């Protein structure tokens, strides 16, 4: 990787300050524009050049010009980074785009059903509509993104809207990829979101829809795509279980988005948008008296009128929704006519709301007001005890998180908050701590990565490994860190073996001083360290004998009347453990 570019000034204007990572198509950096007084940040992408041949460069130059025109067009959308500039310098191609201040959607998603809250159905639908609006724009301009994943959806700090970034893998709808996509070239963070057809060079516009559907399922279930199993007979992803209470309508939409065969999926973002908006706009709020069959037929007829050419899936889902809404409507009717104006259940519900809002005393007072003869009374008493325990734990964990935050122990902040009970009041207090902790972890990660890269450039792989091991596990660079740990450890082992061989060679010619220096450069946790220590002791003893012998020989020469032609030669006998004096006259 070309980390030496850090600090370099491109085009006399864009100063590279940080590496964002590498992908299949090149390296991405953060830069500052020195032409402006406030030095605004921007993103610089260095396109990968794998050959210096003129024919290859000319082809790449043409593709580069085509892509930049596309990026200019896409950048006009308010949720896509604005295109700033493109240029060629020293046979390298660079793109400059707007830097989106924010954080990746990955931070909001639940992880392995252990970290983060599962999303509600409404949150999932709103998310889908938001991103589908962007994809509808992208696809309408003949472009497929090809790498929809949580890391490429940025929650913008300015307005909390999602922005779609990293169009480095975009493909023309008209021409497609035209080649297979080897799995070893795919970033780890993309695996699971890429649909089957993309691996064999048959990328479609609805390949982006598949990836988006997988993100939505992760939000609902807490399971990452690679944790989901596929039906061995149909190859369809099995994601819905008893632990995933989701509306049949929404479940059908999501399953249709991730169908194994792209021909059986929704064919466009517009089609998915139309179906999703039915969930929001066409659910009846209250139905008191109606004929069930009439309602269902009316719903289907309404769909035919609004959609023009309704799909069987949409009709089927609308029927299901209409029937469910009808049941809900009769439930409301029953409640209005039979339920009392006020009940102990409502009291406990109100108490729960107060508890979640942060008023523990009011919540307990309301719960205690429920009379002992009520059926709700045992539940209320148990709830009071549970609230008191959870409140105490939440307060303690908040204090621990606050202390850790003040001491810049960012990982401890996240761990403390993860142990806190699910109370809205305390979550609102810890959310800011967690968000800032993640921001600081990423800044710390980039600093440690830079130091690791610098150490590796000087072949000091032990120091590089120490820096990498300091990177918190919560960092988004986890996959990169693991790769670098393996790479630098392998290089350190190779370097240690090299030092051992150099020591052997120096010892063979009697240069024990240099041999010992090589041996002392071998780290203590390498495979050859034990062998090196044995040789270190051996060579140290031989060096001591050699030094003593030289002193004795020097004294003899001074005190004897030997011929001027006498020469004392010290020879190290291979395979032996002693020194021999050879006089040559």
Binned at pLDDT 50, 70 and 90, residue 52 comes out as low
Over residues 509-541, the pLDDT tens digits come to 889 999 999 999 999 888 889 999 999 999 999
Q: Reduced to 3 states, what is the DSSP secondary structure of residue 142?
A: coil
User: Would residue 147 show up in a list of annotated catalytic residues for this protein?
Assistant: yes
**What pLDDT, on the 0 to 100 scale, is given for residue 180?**
47
> Residue 66 and residue 74: Cα distance in Å, rounded?
13
**What pLDDT, on the 0 to 100 scale, is given for residue 162?**
95
Q: What is the rounded average pLDDT of the residues 141-146? A: 88
Computed on alpha carbons and rounded to an integer, the radius of gyration of the chain in Å comes to 34
Q: Residue 117: left (phi > 0), alpha (psi -120 to 50), or beta?
A: beta
Q: What is the rounded average pLDDT of the residues 282-311? A: 40
Query: Catalytic residue among 91, 147, 208, 248, which?
Result: 147
User: Per the annotation, does 459 bind a ligand?
Assistant: no
User: Quick one: how far is CA 121 from the chain centroid?
Assistant: 24
Q: With 90 as the cut, is the pLDDT of residue 268 above it?
A: yes
**What pLDDT, on the 0 to 100 scale, is given for residue 82?**
93
If one counts every other C-beta atom within 10 angstroms of the C-beta of residue 548, the result is 11
Binned at pLDDT 50, 70 and 90, residue 168 comes out as low
CA-based nearest residue to 121, from 231, 229, 240: 240
Q: Reduced to 3 states, what is the DSSP secondary structure of residue 168?
A: coil
> Residue 576 and residue 585: Cα distance in Å, rounded?
25
> Residue 237 and residue 192: Cα distance in Å, rounded?
11
**What pLDDT, on the 0 to 100 scale, is given for residue 189?**
66
Over residues 381-427, the pLDDT tens digits come to 888 988 999 999 999 999 999 999 999 898 898 888 888 888 888 88
Q: Are 152 and 135 in contact (CB under 8 A)?
A: no
Q: With 90 as the cut, is the pLDDT of residue 209 above it?
A: yes
The CATH homologous superfamily to which domain 102-281 belongs is: Transferase(Phosphotransferase) domain 1 (1.10.510.10)
Binned at pLDDT 50, 70 and 90, residue 572 comes out as very low
Phi, psi of 511 (to 5 degrees): -90, 80
Q: What is the rounded average pLDDT of the residues 323-342? A: 31
The CATH number given to 1-99 is 3.30.200.20
Q: Where are the alpha helices (DSSP H) in 222-311?
A: 248-257, 269-281, 292-307
| pLDDT greater at residue 561 or residue 131 | 131
Q: Report the percent of the chain where pLDDT is more than 70.
A: 77
Domain ranges, ordered by start, for the chain: 1-99, 102-281, 492-584
> Residue 363 and residue 346: Cα distance in Å, rounded?
12
Q: With 80 as the cut, is the pLDDT of residue 95 above it?
A: yes
Phi, psi of 572 (to 5 degrees): -90, 120
Residue found under tokens 């609230």: 387
Q: Which two tokens stand for residue 28?
A: 């991405």
Write down the mean pLDDT value for the chain. 78
Over residues 172-186, the pLDDT tens digits come to 443 333 444 444 445
Binned at pLDDT 50, 70 and 90, residue 481 comes out as confident
What pTM was estimated for this model as a whole? 0.49
Cα distances (angstroms) measured from residue 244 to each of 120, 251, 527: 11, 10, 49
**What pLDDT, on the 0 to 100 scale, is given for residue 380?**
86
Q: What is the rounded average pLDDT of the residues 129-135? A: 96
Q: With 90 as the cut, is the pLDDT of residue 245 above it?
A: no
Over residues 434-472, the pLDDT tens digits come to 888 889 999 989 999 999 999 989 888 889 999 999 998
The crossing angle, in degrees rounded to 10, of helices 360-368 and 377-406 is 170
**What pLDDT, on the 0 to 100 scale, is given for residue 186?**
57
């Amino acid at each position: 990787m070309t980390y030496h570019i850090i600090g370099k000034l491109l085009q006399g204007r864009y100063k590279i300050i940080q590496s964002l990572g590498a992908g299949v198509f090149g390296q991405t950096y953060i830069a500052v524009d020195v032409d402006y007084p406030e030095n605004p940040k921007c993103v610089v992408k260095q396109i990968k050049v794998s050959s210096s041949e003129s024919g290859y460069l000319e082809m790449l130059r043409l593709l580069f010009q085509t892509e930049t025109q596309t990026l200019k067009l896409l950048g006009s959308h308010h949720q896509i980074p604005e295109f700033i500039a493109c240029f060629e310098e020293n046979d390298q191609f660079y793109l400059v785009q707007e830097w989106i201040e924010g954080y990746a959607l990955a931070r909001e998603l639940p992880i392995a059903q252990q970290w983060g809250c599962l999303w509600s159905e409404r949150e999932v639908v709103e998310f889908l509509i938001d991103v589908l609006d962007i994809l509808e724009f992208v696809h309408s301009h003949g472009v497929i993104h090809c790498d929809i994943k949580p890391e490429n959806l940025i929650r913008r700090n300015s307005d909390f809207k999602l922005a779609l970034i990293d169009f480095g893998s975009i493909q023309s709808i008209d021409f497609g990829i035209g080649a297979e996509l080897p799995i070893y070239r795919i970033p780890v963070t993309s695996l699971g979101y890429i649909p089957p057809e993309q691996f064999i060079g048959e990328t479609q516009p609805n390949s982006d829809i598949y990836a988006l559907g997988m993100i939505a399922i992760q939000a609902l279930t807490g399971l990452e795509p690679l944790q989901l199993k596929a039906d061995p007979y149909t190859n369809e992803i099995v994601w819905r279980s008893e632990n995933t209470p989701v509306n049949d309508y929404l479940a059908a939409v999501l399953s249709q988005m991730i169908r194994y065969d792209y021909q059986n999926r929704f064919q466009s973002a517009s089609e998915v948008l139309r179906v999703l908006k039915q969930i929001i706009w066409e659910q009846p709020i209250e139905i008191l008296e109606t004929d069930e069959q009439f309602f269902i037929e009316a719903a289907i007829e309404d769909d035919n009128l609004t959609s023009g050419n309704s799909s069987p899936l949409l009709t089927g889902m609308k029927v299901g929704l209409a029937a469910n809404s009808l049941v809900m409507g009769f439930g409301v009717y029953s409640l209005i006519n039979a339920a009392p104006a006020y009940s102990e259940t409502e009291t406990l519900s109100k108490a729960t709301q107060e508890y979640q809002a942060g008023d523990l005393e009011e919540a307990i007072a309301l719960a205690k007001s429920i009379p002992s003869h009520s059926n709700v009374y045992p539940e209320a008493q148990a709830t009071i005890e549970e609230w008191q325990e959870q409140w105490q734990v939440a307060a303690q964990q908040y204090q621990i998180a606050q202390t850790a935050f003040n001491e810049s122990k960012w990982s401890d902040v996240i761990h403390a908050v993860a142990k806190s009970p699910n109370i809205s009041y305390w979550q609102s207090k810890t959310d800011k701590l967690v968000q800032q902790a993640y921001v600081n972890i990423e800044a710390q990660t980039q600093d440690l990565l830079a130091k690791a890269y610098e150490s590796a450039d000087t072949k000091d792989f032990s120091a590089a490994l120490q820096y990498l091991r300091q990177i918190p596990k919560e960092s988004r660079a986890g996959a990169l860190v693991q790769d670098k740990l393996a790479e630098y450890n392998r290089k350190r082992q190779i370097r240690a073996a090299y030092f051992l061989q150099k020591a052997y060679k120096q010892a063979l010619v009697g240069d024990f001083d240099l041999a010992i220096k090589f041996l002392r450069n071998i780290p203590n946790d390498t495979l050859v360290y034990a062998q090196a220590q044995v040789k270190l002791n051996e060579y140290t003893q031989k060096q001591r004998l050699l030094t003593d012998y030289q002193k004795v020989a020097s004294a003899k020469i001074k005190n004897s009347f030997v011929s001027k032609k006498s020469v004392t030669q010290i020879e190290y006998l291979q395979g032996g453990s002693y020194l021999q004096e050879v006089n040559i006259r």
